[in-house]
Structure 1
Amino acid sequence: MILVCGATGELGGRVVRRLVQDGRTVRALVRPTTDAGALEALGVEVVRGDLRDPASLARAVEGVDTVVTTANALARSLAGDKELSVRDVDVEGNQHLVTAADEAGVRRFVFLSAAGFDRGAGARAPFVAAKRATERALRATGMEAVVVRPDMFQEVWLAGAGGIDVARGRAVVYGKGDAAHRYVAIDDVAALVAHLAVAESVPSEVEFGGPEAITPNEAVAAFERAAGRSFTVRHVPRPVLGVASRVLARPRPALASVMAMALHSDTHPSTCDDRPLREAGIEPRAASDHIRQVAAPAT
């Protein structure tokens, strides 16, 4: 039995579908008010609970061999959900889940973290600090911990959430935009997470990115070529990112995290590659292919 937390999200949902297609028995932890009809249609066992409710987690991990979690509060918090916070979910909630899984005798725990951000501005992002705290908690247990650290998602950082507005021909570049990153497709991350959940032998940490290193400035130029027109480009200066990441840390930790991660990414190019994906039999999608797909004019 594999328990997936975050199963109704973009990444977690894809992980679930891959596991089900592979014939695995899957249970999903779903919040009490969330519609789980799509999961139930796949034959997934749905357990109602919340990372902030330890009692519900004890029920969710009962009889489970492997836990996979992609759950976090970042996107919902940025969207204005005041019910969820980085501290409640990513710090305390993850700790509750790790404790429940360890006490239940779970064998393997696959945790979705983030690549880089271990120094400089990235390290002070509340979201990143929460990820690292969970990693440490996992390594202190008797479980087989697998920390998955992907580079930035193509569908997030090379999309509206990352400042790219194809429809209006506008782009926001954080900092100078000259640091190259290996933006990775969510589908490829899901494929690797599903693989690590069931593989016989797994590493304790996997850090990876997509097959193509590209800077934000190069990405904007690629969007312009694919869309067939010039974009209006605005740069957010590094000092603004730095000040925002500090000032917003307490009142808006999710937004402060984005600012800190953006600043870190502008000063620290990616150091990972796509080898872990290829070793798992996954042919990764390049960032330029993603850009052409989403920006090409309709015909």
Structure 2
Amino acid sequence: MFLVTGATGGLGRRIVQLLRERDMSVRSFVRLTSRYSELEQRGSQIFIGDLQQDKDLQKACQGVQYIISAHGSGGNAQGLDYRANIELIDQAKAAGVQHFVFISVLGVDRGYEDAPVFKAKREVEKYLQASGLNYTILRPSGFASNLLPLAERFRQTGVYLLIGDPKSRTSIVSTDDLAKIAIDSVNIEEAKNQIFSVGGSDILQRQDIPRIFGRIFNKEPIVINPPLLVFDGVRSALGLFNPNAQNALGTLRTLLDNEFFCTRDQVERLESTFKITMESLESYLRRYFGS
């Protein structure tokens, strides 16, 4: 039995789908207000709970052998990225869970002080490593599935908003590949108690993304490229009314101002360990949009 948190998110949903395609038992941790009927129809157990309630985490972990923590922060890095994962690790240990897979983020170890999500995930990594549980920590760059709404908007308008340096490098990972790696981590000896940087097959510049959209949809991209100073101005103005929102935007500011890509050696380590050929962003998008 797998327990998957964040089961209705882009990654979590794909993990549950793949587990059910393999006819494996899975319990999806979901909120009552989320859209989980498809997961139930696929044969997943549905556990309706609150990740910030210790009793819910305790109940969800009962009878579970493997946990994949794939939930995001929803703007609450302290409560969800940090506190919920710490408690989930404690409950996993108490329940005798055999392996804990934690979805972290690429660059988490660089010490970004202005990025609450990065700080929270790094502290969870350290806690998991010291917990005594068998673990695998995955540090993905951007998820390909997060670009689907942008691609759909581009298909309709031909416009792409690119904030900051268009030459910043990234290696966006296929969400399908990441889901497969997360699941396979629990059975591959070489993945036990290891940390992996996870990226796609190509190192792209951010300006390559609208070009890929243009090739897929046969449109000449209209790229709007405001400097980071514009984002900083909006963030500062927001801080006058909502300091918490200003702080939360620190993570986005970090993502916009830095490069997040895997080296070829890191990708080769992934491919060798998990017997997988990492997919390119363009291949993923073409599969999704059927072009």
Smaller-chain TM-score bracket: 0.7 to 0.9
Residue number in structure 1 paired with 2:177: 188
Per-residue deviation, 1:58: 0.8
What secondary structure, in the 3-state scheme, does the structure 2 residue paired with 1:174 have? coil
Given the two structures, how large is their TM-score scaled by the length of structure 2?
0.84
Alignment of 1:2-151 (within 5 A): 2-74=2-74, 77=75, 85-119=76-110, 122-151=112-141
Greater shift after overlay, 146-155 or 275-284?
275-284
1:275 to 268, 272, 279: 268
Alpha-carbon separation, structure 2, partners of 1:48 and 1:217: 41
TM-score (norm 1): 0.82
Shift of 1:127: 1.4
Q: 1:263 to 1:162 in 2, by over 3 A?
A: farther
| CA displacement, residues 198-236 of structure 1 (integer Å, 9 cap, x when unaligned) | 334424211121111110112223333443332222223
Matched, 1:219 2:209: yes
RMSD: 2.8
| Aligned AA (1:275) | E
Secondary structure at 2:46 match in 1: strand
Answer yes or no: is the 8 Å Cα contact 1:191–1:282 preserved in 2. Answer: no
CA-CA distance at 1:277 after TM superposition: 4.3
CA contact (8 A) 1:241 1:260 kept: no
**Structure 2: distance between partners of 1:175 and 1:283:** 31
Percent identity between the two aligned chains: 26
1:288 equivalent in structure 2: 282
The answer as to whether partners of 1:159 and 1:165 remain within 8 angstroms in 2 is no
What amino acid is aligned across from residue 191 of structure 2 in structure 1?
V
Measure how far apart 1:139 and its partner are: 1.3
The alpha carbon displacement at 1:65 in A equals 1.7
Q: Report how far residue 97 of structure 1 moved.
A: 1.1
SS of structure 2 residue aligned to 1:166:
helix
Report the Cα offset of residue 271 of structure 1. Answer: 3.4
1:53 CA displacement: 0.3
CA 1:35/1:295 → structure 2, altered by over 3 Å: closer, same or farther? closer
Letter in 1 for 2:142: M
- Structure 2, unpaired ranges of 5+: none
Distance in 2 between residues matched to 1:291 and 1:22, nearest whole Å: 24
- Say whether the 8 Å CA contact 2:178–2:198 is kept in structure 1: no
Distance (whole Å) between structure 1 residues aligned to residue 288 and residue 44 of structure 2? 31
The one-letter amino acid of 2:177's match is: D
Deviation by residue 1:83-139 (Cα, 9 ceiling, x = unmatched): xx222211221222112112222221101111125337x552111111112111211
Question: Distance between the aligned counterparts of 1:116 and 1:163, measured in 2?
Answer: 28
Are the counterparts in 1 of residues 108 and 121 from structure 2 also a CA contact under 8 Å? Answer: no
User: Could you tell me how far apart the structure 1 residues matched to 2:64 and 2:172 are?
Assistant: 33
Query: Residue in 1 aligned with 2:257?
Result: 263
Residue 250, structure 1, aligned to residue 244, structure 2: yes
Structure 2 CA distance for aligned equivalents of residues 245 and 207 of structure 1: 30
CA deviation after TM superposition for structure 1 residue 52, in Å? 0.4
Whole-angstrom CA distance in 2 between matches of 1:270 and 1:244: 31
Deviation of the 1:174 alpha carbon: 2.5
Structure 2 CA distance for partners of 1:152 and 1:220, relative to 1, 3 Å? same
Q: 1:290 to 1:27 in 2, by over 3 A?
A: closer
Q: Which range moved further: 137-146 or 41-50?
A: 41-50
The AA in structure 1 aligned to 2:218 is: G
| Deviation of 1:31 (Å) | 2.2
Whole-angstrom distance in 2 between the partners of 1:125 and 1:164: 28
Shift of 1:33: 3.8
| Residues 30, 36 of structure 1: 8 Å contact kept | yes
